[in-house]
Structure 1
Amino acid sequence: MSKISLGMLAAAAIFMCTIAPAAGQRNGGAADLPDGPGKDAVAQECTKCHGVNNITNSWGDTKAGWRQTFDSMVKLPDDRAEIIATYLGAHFPEKPDRPKTVVVPGDLKVNIKEWIAPTLGSRPHDPYAAPDGTIYWAGMWADVIGHVDPKTNAIKEYPLPTKRTGPHGLTMDKEGNIWFAGNFGGIIGKLNPKTGEVKEFKMPDPAAKDPHTPLFDKKGMLWFTLQNSNMVGRMNPATGDIKLVTLPQARSQPYGMVMTSDGSPFICEFGANRLAKFDIDTMAITEYTLPNPESRPRRLTITADDVVYYADYSRGYLGMYNLKTKATKEWPSPSGPKSQPYGIVQVNGIIWYNESAIRPNTIVRFDPKTEKFQSWIIPGGGGVVRNMSVFANGNIAMAESGVNRVALVETPKTGNARGTK
């Protein structure tokens, strides 16, 4: 478990160091960097995996913040790391118009524990809160599934057999197997944590390239979104049979998913101001348009009485859609219109989500009954928390993508948390 200084904050725009060297050079090289001591070192080390534009187009950071960012990607000799951090801090300081963190005070207390993923640059994407109290995560850029036991701090990584699998979303079946969406490889995968064995299931359509968020329905079928492929899939785990449907409108970008009380898959369309429900048997789709055309719901959660709350990423709002009454309502997120709400869950009707664009990220609590917020800084900075998962006791697992960490949020206890779909 790591204790991280609040001053060491991640520059989330920087991608992890795992793709081919040539790919980064297409997005700029040393010529795009300002002159000064350290320019050559930055060009050599920071363009092996991504373009210089990831630096020049970022929000900037302090010297310490830059150091934490690349320390989570690659191990460098201390003297070379010092040169690079000094250069980046001097030439790419934090921009004055970056969204500022707004912390809403309150009486409730949370405790946040964090662990560093063993593989640098793995970019933990989605977590999964397992029934035994442990946390799994998708090491998207390292092709691993990670596991940590918060009680013992024991950490293990399971390597995936296929390079460029890109594990993204995670879920678990009744036997304790971890199912993952291979976002880069166009696969659905199954990991047996007891043996480390991995089975892969390819998409039946070559146009289905990017499985995203998986979730089991009440019949044991595995549903999943495919964001840029503009599809939703359903897989029979027993046979491996996969059926795909394309959303009615192009570039809808199906993203987050939950299950309604009747067992229907319900998604948000990140490329539009829409939500959608699927028939569990026919896969027929019913879409719901949100009032504001600029809304872009990215993740969502649902209460036991079918009230959907969604993270309106583009506008900096928390939104609500009641499936029964069709009523909608929204609230500005504490850190403002550029805060980019992202991961979201509910615990006994209380909504928890993170603000991903601000530095450091916050975790926000919202009580729908009082319509009051309270928020806390994420100690390691968050580095873009992309998803959350809830334990039965109401604690929350998070993946801190840009700072290569996973976290456990110990929340105020108000009873059993099941009801989160």
Structure 2
Amino acid sequence: MKSFSPILAGLVLALALPVAQAEAPATPDLKEWDIPWDNTRPRDPWVGPQDNTVWFVGQAGDYVATLNPETGSLKRYRLDPGTGPHNVIADERGAFYAGNQAEHIGLIDPDSGEIRKFRLEGDGPKDVHTMAFDANGDIFFTEQGGNRIGWLDVDEYDFRMFDVETEWARPYGIVVSQDNRPWVALFGTNKLATVDAKGTSHEVTLPREGARPRRLDMTDDGMVWYVDYAEGFLGRLNTDSGQIQEWPVPGGPDARPYAMALDDQNRSWFVETGHSPNRLIGFDPKTESFSEPATIPSGGGTVRHMVFDPEARALWFGTDTNTVVRATLR
């Protein structure tokens, strides 16, 4: 494990206040679907390759499910009690879920409901947290308690595990770059992490000691965007130059920005979970302006993860108030 000296050498912090609200992103149109399985914490929707299929997991209900947004119909795939599914991603092979409490990644056949389990390896906690496909359809993932970044070759059932240098760094949100490198938010410290093509881990220290990055996303040109949950900032790391720029979010230091995603115009969207009801806010880096907050109709409770569907130009997320939400961009 090495520190990421090329990036650290170029580290620059610029704190910027948003400019005038003119040309800010328009407030999205929100639609919520009530999930009938009460108190199951539906979360982490993923738009599947099949038409009208949105996957999500019930973290407190031990299920993976689909929603057809055209008809509102739902289908539930029950998992073993105690699985604690945390995240789901899907492609033509089916839906992969993170069995957070049961130490495996599962693959569900949408037609038969059959499940193939990939058991995690190694000592200590094996709490697969958040997953992301790489360019070959294999899976990078984080282990928050295990303090590792992992990679699964799906066809070969082969794992590679990369320890994070900082103790109790709590690897959390993850995204995979165009050059097939994972970038990870280390929620237990003020750092981001990555793994290079040789399998060497590197860490990037954020400028503020109190920062706690939780979720992140990445543009095609190598800009990593992240939200600082602890102190209420939206940040951007240029992975080529190492420059970091940050903006205080509209809700202030107690805003608790959590779920976040980028849209097709490289605008950042995030949910302030420190407010009740939770608030969805967009940020345009061209004008450095924030949108007017869109409040979650059900309140949201806590919105934990979000994805962007480019075909529908919509954001999807689940809530602790037992709903799945589509935010259609204008």
The normalised TM-score by structure 1 is 0.70
Separation in structure 2 between the aligned mates of residue 159 and residue 123 of structure 1, nearest angstrom: 15
Equivalent residue, structure 2, for 1:356: 273
Separation in structure 1 between the aligned mates of residue 184 and residue 226 of structure 2, nearest angstrom: 10
The C-alpha deviation readout for 1:96-134, integer Å capped at 9, x for no partner, is xxxxxxxx8968242111112221111113111224343
Note if contact 2:25-2:283 (Cα within 8 Å) is conserved in structure 1.
no
Equivalent residue, structure 1, for 2:119: 202
SS in 1 for 2:101: coil
Equivalent residue, structure 2, for 1:303: 219
4+ aligned runs moved over 4 Å, structure 1: 104-107
SS in 2 for 1:196: coil
Equivalent residue, structure 2, for 1:291: 207
The letter for the 2-side match of 1:325 is S
Equivalent residue, structure 2, for 1:250: 167
1:216 aligns with 2:129: no
1:154 aligns with 2:154: no
- The alpha-carbon distance between structure 1 residues 109 and 268, as it changes in their structure 2 partners (threshold 3 A), is closer
The letter for the 1-side match of 2:213 is P
Pairwise CA distance, 1:186: 1.0
The letter for the 2-side match of 1:235 is L
Equivalent residue, structure 2, for 1:166: 84
Note if contact 2:25-2:284 (Cα within 8 Å) is conserved in structure 1.
no
SS in 2 for 1:386: coil
Pairwise CA distance, 1:410: 0.8
Equivalent residue, structure 2, for 1:264: 181
Higher relative contact order (CA 8 A, sep 6+): 2
Separation in structure 2 between the aligned mates of residue 125 and residue 231 of structure 1, nearest angstrom: 23
Equivalent residue, structure 2, for 1:192: 109
Pairwise CA distance, 1:304: 1.5
Pairwise CA distance, 1:176: 4.3
Separation in structure 1 between the aligned mates of residue 45 and residue 123 of structure 2, nearest angstrom: 28
1:274 aligns with 2:191: yes
Q: How many residues end up aligned between the 2 structures? A: 305
SS in 2 for 1:385: coil
The letter for the 1-side match of 2:298 is G
Separation in structure 2 between the aligned mates of residue 206 and residue 191 of structure 1, nearest angstrom: 26
Separation in structure 1 between the aligned mates of residue 87 and residue 183 of structure 2, nearest angstrom: 16
Structure showing the higher strand proportion among its residues: 2
Note if contact 1:126-1:399 (Cα within 8 Å) is conserved in structure 2.
yes
Separation in structure 1 between the aligned mates of residue 126 and residue 81 of structure 2, nearest angstrom: 15
1:179 to 85, 90, 96: 96
Separation in structure 1 between the aligned mates of residue 25 and residue 193 of structure 2, nearest angstrom: 37
Separation in structure 2 between the aligned mates of residue 297 and residue 276 of structure 1, nearest angstrom: 11
SS in 2 for 1:121: coil
- The alpha-carbon distance between structure 1 residues 262 and 153, as it changes in their structure 2 partners (threshold 3 A), is same
Q: Which has the larger radius of gyration?
A: 1
Separation in structure 2 between the aligned mates of residue 278 and residue 139 of structure 1, nearest angstrom: 30
Equivalent residue, structure 1, for 2:32: 114
Equivalent residue, structure 2, for 1:50: none
2:229 to 313, 327, 330: 313
Note if contact 2:162-2:201 (Cα within 8 Å) is conserved in structure 1.
no
The C-alpha deviation readout for 1:362-394, integer Å capped at 9, x for no partner, is 100100010100121111111100000111222
SS in 2 for 1:250: coil
Equivalent residue, structure 1, for 2:322: 404
Note if contact 2:215-2:258 (Cα within 8 Å) is conserved in structure 1.
yes
- Residue ranges of structure 1 left out of the alignment (5+ in a row): 1-103, 413-421
- The alpha-carbon distance between structure 1 residues 208 and 283, as it changes in their structure 2 partners (threshold 3 A), is farther
Structure showing the higher helix proportion among its residues: 1
Q: Aligned runs of 1:233-248 on 2, under 5 Å?
A: 233-248=150-165
Separation in structure 1 between the aligned mates of residue 328 and residue 27 of structure 2, nearest angstrom: 9
SS in 2 for 1:122: coil
Note if contact 2:25-2:282 (Cα within 8 Å) is conserved in structure 1.
no
2:57 to 138, 147, 153: 138
Pairwise CA distance, 1:212: 0.3
SS in 1 for 2:305: strand
Note if contact 1:129-1:396 (Cα within 8 Å) is conserved in structure 2.
no
Separation in structure 2 between the aligned mates of residue 259 and residue 223 of structure 1, nearest angstrom: 8
Q: Give the percent of matched residue pairs that are identical in Structure 1 and Structure 2.
A: 35
Note if contact 2:43-2:324 (Cα within 8 Å) is conserved in structure 1.
no
Pairwise CA distance, 1:239: 2.4
Separation in structure 1 between the aligned mates of residue 219 and residue 225 of structure 2, nearest angstrom: 8
The C-alpha deviation readout for 1:264-310, integer Å capped at 9, x for no partner, is 11111111111111124x42111111111111000001112111110
The C-alpha deviation readout for 1:218-259, integer Å capped at 9, x for no partner, is 123211100011011111111222222221121011111111
* RMSD over equivalenced CA pairs, Å: 1.6
Equivalent residue, structure 2, for 1:27: none
- The alpha-carbon distance between structure 1 residues 107 and 178, as it changes in their structure 2 partners (threshold 3 A), is closer
The normalised TM-score by structure 2 is 0.89
